[in-house]
Amino acid sequence: MKVGVLQFYPKFKNKELNYKIIKDYLKDVRNALIVLPELANTGYLFLDKSEIKELAEEIPTGEFSNLLIEIAKKNNLVLVSGLIEVEGNNFYNSAIIVGPYGYIGKYRKINLFYKEKLIFEAGNKLEVFDIVFKDDKNKEYLVKLGVMICFDWYFPEISRNLMLKGANIIAHPSNLVLPYCPLAMPIRALENKLYTITANRIGKEENQGESLSFIGQSVICSPKAEYLLKLDNKQEGVFLVDIDLNINKNITKLNNLEQDLKSLYEKLNSMKN
């Protein structure tokens, strides 16, 4: 199955321009699962709730949700993208998942990074989405899609939990600023025997004297800890690789990851201290 990332430079607070950039990049992409960065349509460095009020939307009825649904239907894509979600008085750093048949689901970032804590509520739900995807040759793939957002990578419990829920791919919209994540992702993929797709952004943002530089380096990693894709901090566009979703959960003939984990958790739970 074809999977990929859209790595680009979102323009801060400029939704219209970002819609245009995203539409242009996805115009000729078909029959694939594509991950976009965290907060892909708005940029990232917000410091106050008043700044995001106008930029947030309800999922799946908002304008960016609708744009992604339209592109996914037209081009036979599964798309996962970050955006600011509003529900009532609360804002979430969320990801929307859409496919050729429309809206699939959403994920709200659990581990908020730095000043995100001042504006977003943390999510409290991890889900794996079962998606039957057919390519242009009518070949069918069962994608069991887990989603985490950026800083969630730092907490191995998130990817482990998604694996225990059956994920064979983790989509990982990101706005990375620290250098470590691209080094860690092959291990997240290996220790959970699944594929990871980290879509990061590039560029720099400034707001009220604060500034952040984003490291690019989007990576797609295999269950064998290989980099199937590793970009630099300047490349922009859609980058695709082919993956084989028939993943064997055996580590050796006598070690099955799921069974060994089950007995490990039983043991840990039975220990008094």
Applying CB under 6 A, what is the total number of residues that bind ligand ACM? 7
- CA 95/CA 149 separation, integer angstroms: 7
Q: Does 38 help bind ligand ACM (rule: CB under 6 A)?
A: yes
- CA 147/CA 94 separation, integer angstroms: 10
Q: Does 198 help bind ligand ACM (rule: CB under 6 A)?
A: no
Q: Which two tokens stand for residue 236?
A: 């922009």
Length of the chain: 273
Interface with ligand ACM (CB under 6 A), residue from 151, 172, 198, 218: 151
- CA 7/CA 27 separation, integer angstroms: 15
Active-site position among 2, 15, 106, 109 = 109
Helices 63-75 and 15-26, axial angle in degrees (round to 10): 10
Interface with ligand ACM (CB under 6 A), residue from 46, 91, 113, 129: 113
Interface with ligand ACM (CB under 6 A), residue from 176, 185, 202, 229: 176
Q: For ligand ACM, which is the closer residue by CB, 23 or 117?
A: 117
Examine the residue annotation and report whether 85 is marked as an active-site residue of this protein. no
- Closest approach, Cβ 218 to ligand ACM, in A, equals 14
- For residue 60, is the peptide bond before it cis, meaning its omega torsion is within 30 degrees of 0? yes
Active-site position among 2, 38, 144, 221 = 38
Examine the residue annotation and report whether 150 is marked as an active-site residue of this protein. yes
Q: Pairing mode, if any, of strands 219-221 and 195-199?
A: antiparallel
Q: For ligand ACM, which is the closer residue by CB, 212 or 241?
A: 212
Burial class for 141, CB neighbours closer than 10 Å (0-12, 13-18, 19+): middle
Examine the residue annotation and report whether 221 is marked as an active-site residue of this protein. no
Q: For ligand ACM, which is the closer residue by CB, 9 or 113?
A: 113
Q: For ligand ACM, which is the closer residue by CB, 122 or 251?
A: 122
Give 203's Cβ-side CA count (13 Å radius).
16
- CA 256/CA 252 separation, integer angstroms: 7
Q: Does 177 help bind ligand ACM (rule: CB under 6 A)?
A: yes
Residues classed as catalytic: 38, 109, 150
Interface ranges with ligand ACM (CB under 6 A): 38, 113, 150-151, 175-177
